[in-house]
Structure 1
Amino acid sequence: MAAEQDPLLRPSTSYDDQSFTSRTGSKLSANVGPLDISRSTRYAILAGLWSATFLSALNTTLVATLIPSISSEFNKSNEASWLGTSYLLAVCTFTPLYGRLCNVMGRRGANQLAVLAAFLGTVACGLSKNMEMLVAARFLSGMGGGGIMTTTTIILSDMYSMRSRGLAQGFSSVFSGLGMGLGGPLGGLVSDQFGWRWAFIMQLPLFALSLTLTTCNLVYATPGMGRSAKDVLKRIDWGGSITLLIAVGSFLVFLSVKFSEDLPWSDPLVVVSLILGIAFLVAFILVELCVSPEPVLSPALLRQSVPVVVGISNFLVAMCNFSVMYFFPMWFQTVALTGASTAGLHLLPNSMAMSCGSLFAGYMMHRTGRYKVINIMFGFFPFVGSLLITFIHENSGPLQSWLSIIPLGFGNAVVLQTTLVALLAHLPDDLMAVGTGFGQVFRWLGQVSGVAVSSALFQSKLDSELRKRIYGPDAAGIINSVRHSVTLAARLPPELQRAVRDSYAVALHDVFVFATCSTLAAYIVRLPIPGKTLEHGPRKNQDHAENSVSATGDDRNELNIHQDDEQPARMLPDIESTKHTTDTMSSTSTDGGRN
């Protein structure tokens, strides 16, 4: 059995003597490494990964326009935020595990575990009979959704050099951006035409396609499959995952009962949930630093400035993104009184902008070998976009209503691409998998925090504004009904409807201001990230020494693949086949040249 420090993917002569059947029916030897697979096999792997990536991203925003239909059926609009937070809670809790699972189960095993969990959760969503079952099903779906994103990023890191990785991730983010952008409008359209359950059921064939393609083609990941189930279970950070789950879950319960349910501070549920959140957050930190043999948040990365700064930036960017994406469609439904499908379509420009931003950032990094200048220039766009959104009002024209969100999507896509490459460029090759999971966990924590905090802010402000505008003996009942059903506003008498629409407008404006502050803070936090020239080939030993820290053997068991300059990885199509003049500069640079 391999030692903890042994790389899981060895030179081709040391692979186990196994063979597998490709999608074309031919036998593929396990000797084939990630850089040696054929172009058709590579494309089949990418198709399998990116179809699952699209669905994972789709599910993060899908419920934004399904909430009115679901809340009308179950009459629990004030609990509807749990449809988003339960998914994101599972994602941020279980995502870090997949960096480790990629090493102990193999890339294929970890990816298929994630896809299967997402598949089963989606089936359960479509068959849910009440809000509680639907929330639980969303949690199961989230257990796989985050893993899909992480394993896809790690597999792309296997197959492409550092300089081409940005472009490969750019293509990947196109599908992620399309999923996030289409989740709202597609969910609203399907809900209006066929019912909200079909928004989940329609995803199942694409999940099946992803599983089929990776099963038949992702064969280079098999060296990790030889470990026993006992070895796999021993190396998982159960303590860190459980304490993180309880900590984040407790904080979500606190925000829900205090602000959505409006319980007093003296209520036992409010006090207990807050205390549990703080206690288990402290426990999580202690477990990660002192107990866990392979922590989900590696102390080796916490001792480096670049991973920490990238993590904080990811948190704030995701908080801004999801505050906007979950409440932007609601503005059009409750203030402009449009249908669910039309409200969801207002996220489509954001989706298109994210896709363009991802490709732009990947192409520029591949061409120039630099990321810092791109980050600084275009990283200010999200602040501009979110600021424009705060100025939207009931009488805004179509240009302001439809295009204000474009700078937000484009800029944040550039930021996420460049910060990921910045993180990986400052890590040795053997910390790539854990580093990827490290960055992702902050991003997912930001997403769940964005939905939870903005929901608490929204509900608190909405209640306050409704009480200012609605009077009379039936005021409490009307306010309670409005808060429980988003669609009720369109059916109210004109005078009462005016009061409800104005209240929603003020509450949603505060959410957008919160998002604007988050993205401005993220821009300031990112400024100290140092520039570094990206290389096509393997990084030099000096570079490794500069970025390595005194990690334990458990932090050094990650993938260690070196690529020769003479044998670049093939891309979409063969993006490394032509070297630019900047390659000479990057291939000889060992001092981390600044942008």
Structure 2
Amino acid sequence: MSSNSEREPLLARRSSLSYKTRLGPHDISKSMRHGILAGIWMATFLSSVNMTLVPTMLPSISSEFQKSHQASWLGTAYLLATATFTPLYGRLANVLGRRGAAQLAVLFTGLGTVACGLSTSMEMLIVSRFIAGIGGGGINTIATIVVSDMYSLRDRGLAQGVASVFNGIGLGFGGPLGGVITDWLGWRWAFLCQVPLFFISLLLTTINLRYVTKGKGKSTKEVLKRIDYFGSLTLLISVGSMLIFLSTRFNENLPWADARVIVPLVLSIVFFLSFVFVEIYVAPEPVLAPFLLKQRIPVLVGVSNFLVASCNFSITYFFPMWFQTVMLTNASTAGLHILPNSISMSVGSVFAGWMMHRTGKYKMINLIFGIFPFIGTVLISQIHENSGWIQSWFSIIPMGFGNAVVLQTMLSALLAHIPESHMAVGTGFGQLFRGIGQVGGVAISSAIFQYKLDNALRERLTMDPDAEAIITHIRQNARSISTLPPRLQRIARDSYAVSLKTVFFFASVSTLLAYIARLPIPEKELDSRPRSNSAAIAPPPTPQPQLGSASALTSNVVGEDEQVRDDDSDSDEDDHPTTPTTPTRMRHGSTRRPVRRLSTFESPDGVLDLESRRIGGSARSFETGSWSGRSGSVSG
């Protein structure tokens, strides 16, 4: 018989064994870490490809379905879903687990992409793009959270820089790949050929993403109750209505008095105000995290993210159009002009990460390289038909490099100025502004472009008796410009040139305002210590019973149960000021009024809550009968 068999509680020994079998994000093997990164970064690449895949395919898709007036929704539907659902994944990463949230994001994106390839109508294709966007934004958020789990604040800048290489390659190759595959195999295969890569990403994520984070598990009912359905719905309707307003007023050129213009505008304003009200006063787990809106640094980072994304997507969507409509190149060649932007973004991300890793600072490189995007957009706005190959191919490089540096440094600045316990929701907060900026960049620049194009064509075709029909034809079918008679072709090319330069000017203003918004953000040295969310820790101390006392062992077990209940009650409290509600029992018999949670399922101890195994996709190991199997402090 073991000498300690009657002196140590059996429950405590099982607890110790359970803890030893768990590995936190800093304790996993190198092969498992590489497998996780391979899975999430492959998904990141595919998500980025889908953002820029469509523009070079629009003429072919519009020709097949004969609905060119709806073609712009193929891009905005994806970005609308991304902007709306991205912040939810900061919550889902805590309550479903890193693996569960990653699986959900990859599945949505993959299924939506398959549906795009099999669509039989423009409406079905738009809905499929929306479904793919639901997961697309989540992939980027989960990838950021997982990297933040596994690396210290100082080291993660370099890791995020490497991650941005895949994001940049995806954004850069989306347009060229869409054009090449469309020319060779047809536009449907541009979607369907991604399916094997989605499957590999899902497989790698499922096998490897199994590390443990500290905290408390939640039941399925509690998880479903706390998701901010109303906030997500009001945000979706508000942004969607604004897109409809911009489309009907500027793309279709309907008068202000038309109900199709007024109604979407009113709905957008009403639902935006409803969204703000819900987030501040109603939602138990607000998708926007209002407490971050009260802090200067997160707000400035959010404004910068919005403006940077607006600049990026204005150029990404309209720079290739310059070469198709003004220079009359084919779709593949036009799409390739985005490739230098992709390469420069990748280099800029790695450079920013390396500099932050080496120096532990972000302010100076932000000040120096943050002005590069403005220089790049000014160079782009000066382009003309007789520009040489250097300006045509390389004027976009400063924009890509500078914006990549900005996004990397701003992520580190945001995470450095908020508690570690708010890392997941803080990441979602930054991604929300970035996602809305992506939608706004495409929608606002499209409205500016269409409005200017209509005016430019009318000025040049004033005396033409068939002016209305010619204007409609040129606006709705850019590919037909090369087939127009010489006089009309010249008018069309000049009108497109003027309109596109207006969009480039809008991008310049956006990136300059972003630079100004970042100036007040202070320096803060990045910490090189490991994160504190690892669950591979020593087992909880257990009081020793008195020898020969049966009641001592009983009281020990009861004491453990009491600790479990206290921890569970604490898990629902935040480190924010209390509000008048019903008192809640606390340790040592004290009471405290519970607060409305503003920081998702995160404990007040500065660690992320665990995800319950019962709701699927838990990123943890589990042993039946272990300490974690109880209703206690570390759920399995």
What's the TM-score once normalised by structure 2's chain length? 0.81
Q: Equivalent residues in 2 for 1:386-425 (5 A)?
A: 386-425=377-416
Cα offset, 1:79, TM superposition:
2.5
Q: Which amino acid aligns with 1:478?
A: I
Match of 1:190 in 2: 181
Q: Which amino acid aligns with 2:471?
A: I
1:126–1:201 CA contact under 8 A, matched in 2: yes
Give distance in 1, aligned partners of 2:531 and 2:202. Answer: 34
Pick closer, same or farther for the CA change 1:512–1:108 going to 2, 3 Å.
same
Q: Which of these residues, 498, 507, 519, is aligned with residue 499 of structure 2? A: 507
Cα offset, 1:78, TM superposition:
3.2
SS of residue matched to 1:65: helix
Cα offset, 1:555, TM superposition:
3.7
Cα offset, 1:533, TM superposition:
0.6
Cα offset, 1:98, TM superposition:
0.4
2:92 pairs with 1:110: no
Match of 1:212 in 2: 203
Give distance in 2, aligned partners of 1:30 and 1:537. Answer: 24
Q: Equivalent residues in 2 for 1:53-452 (5 A)?
A: 53-220=44-211, 227-452=218-443
- State the Cα deviation string for residues 31-56 of structure 1 (Å, max 9, x = none): 11111110000000000000000011
1:86–1:135 CA contact under 8 A, matched in 2: yes
Match of 1:487 in 2: 479
Pick closer, same or farther for the CA change 1:224–1:327 going to 2, 3 Å.
farther
Give the unaligned 5+ runs of structure 2. 1-12, 533-574, 579-594, 609-636
Give distance in 1, aligned partners of 2:501 and 2:124. Answer: 32
Pick closer, same or farther for the CA change 1:493–1:13 going to 2, 3 Å.
farther
Q: Which amino acid aligns with 1:250?
A: S
Pick closer, same or farther for the CA change 1:530–1:115 going to 2, 3 Å.
same
Cα offset, 1:501, TM superposition:
0.7
Give distance in 1, aligned partners of 2:174 and 2:329. Answer: 17
Give distance in 1, aligned partners of 2:503 and 2:428. Answer: 29
2:516 pairs with 1:521: no
Paired residues, number: 534
Q: Which amino acid aligns with 2:396?
A: I
- State the Cα deviation string for residues 243-281 of structure 1 (Å, max 9, x = none): 000000000000001111111111111111000000000
Give distance in 1, aligned partners of 2:527 and 2:15. Answer: 27
Cα offset, 1:516, TM superposition:
0.4
1:107–1:222 CA contact under 8 A, matched in 2: no
Q: Which amino acid aligns with 1:502?
A: D
Cα offset, 1:165, TM superposition:
0.9
Give distance in 2, aligned partners of 1:15 and 1:498. Answer: 79
**Superposed CA RMSD:** 2.1
Give distance in 1, aligned partners of 2:422 and 2:522. Answer: 19
Cα offset, 1:72, TM superposition:
2.2
Give distance in 1, aligned partners of 2:479 and 2:215. Answer: 51
2:98–2:146 CA contact under 8 A, matched in 1: yes
- State the Cα deviation string for residues 360-410 of structure 1 (Å, max 9, x = none): 000000000000001000000000000000001111110000000000000
2:545 pairs with 1:554: no
Q: Which amino acid aligns with 1:558?
A: E
Give distance in 1, aligned partners of 2:449 and 2:404. Answer: 26
2:159–2:353 CA contact under 8 A, matched in 1: yes
Match of 2:30 in 1: 39
Cα offset, 1:230, TM superposition:
2.3
Q: Which amino acid aligns with 2:242?
A: F
SS of residue matched to 2:119: coil
Give distance in 2, aligned partners of 1:500 and 1:460. Answer: 14
1:318–1:443 CA contact under 8 A, matched in 2: yes
Cα offset, 1:493, TM superposition:
1.4
Match of 1:7 in 2: none
Tell which has more relative contact order, 1 or 2 (C-alpha 8 A, sep 6+).
2
Match of 1:580 in 2: none
Pick closer, same or farther for the CA change 1:14–1:268 going to 2, 3 Å.
farther
Cα offset, 1:538, TM superposition:
5.2
More divergent stretch after superposition (120-129 vs 474-483): 474-483
Give distance in 1, aligned partners of 2:142 and 2:198. Answer: 15
Q: Which amino acid aligns with 2:527?
A: E
- State the Cα deviation string for residues 532-558 of structure 1 (Å, max 9, x = none): 111211589xxxxxxx86485734533
SS of residue matched to 1:392: coil
Q: Which amino acid aligns with 1:446?
A: G
Give distance in 1, aligned partners of 2:27 and 2:328. Answer: 56
Pick closer, same or farther for the CA change 1:16–1:481 going to 2, 3 Å.
farther
Cα offset, 1:227, TM superposition:
4.2
Percent identity between matched residues is 63
2:516 pairs with 1:472: no
Pick closer, same or farther for the CA change 1:114–1:222 going to 2, 3 Å.
farther
Q: Which amino acid aligns with 1:365?
A: M
SS of residue matched to 1:411: helix
Give distance in 2, aligned partners of 1:364 and 1:223. Answer: 31
What's the TM-score once normalised by structure 1's chain length? 0.87
1:76–1:485 CA contact under 8 A, matched in 2: no
Pick closer, same or farther for the CA change 1:14–1:297 going to 2, 3 Å.
farther
2:25–2:213 CA contact under 8 A, matched in 1: no
2:81–2:133 CA contact under 8 A, matched in 1: yes
Q: Which of these residues, 509, 524, 548, is aligned with residue 532 of structure 1? A: 524
- State the Cα deviation string for residues 308-345 of structure 1 (Å, max 9, x = none): 00000000000000000000011100000000000000
Give the unaligned 5+ runs of structure 1. 1-11, 19-28, 541-547, 563-595
Give distance in 2, aligned partners of 1:15 and 1:452. Answer: 56
1:106–1:221 CA contact under 8 A, matched in 2: no
1:64–1:325 CA contact under 8 A, matched in 2: no
1:108–1:221 CA contact under 8 A, matched in 2: no
Cα offset, 1:444, TM superposition:
0.3
- State the Cα deviation string for residues 282-301 of structure 1 (Å, max 9, x = none): 00000000001110111221
1:48–1:209 CA contact under 8 A, matched in 2: yes
- State the Cα deviation string for residues 473-504 of structure 1 (Å, max 9, x = none): 32211211111112111111111111111111
SS of residue matched to 1:197: helix
2:284–2:598 CA contact under 8 A, matched in 1: no
Cα offset, 1:13, TM superposition:
9.2
1:379–1:412 CA contact under 8 A, matched in 2: yes
Q: Which amino acid aligns with 1:298?
A: A
Give distance in 1, aligned partners of 2:95 and 2:466. Answer: 61
1:106–1:225 CA contact under 8 A, matched in 2: no
Give distance in 1, aligned partners of 2:17 and 2:223. Answer: 19
Pick closer, same or farther for the CA change 1:231–1:223 going to 2, 3 Å.
farther
Give distance in 2, aligned partners of 1:240 and 1:474. Answer: 49
Give distance in 1, aligned partners of 2:231 and 2:23. Answer: 35
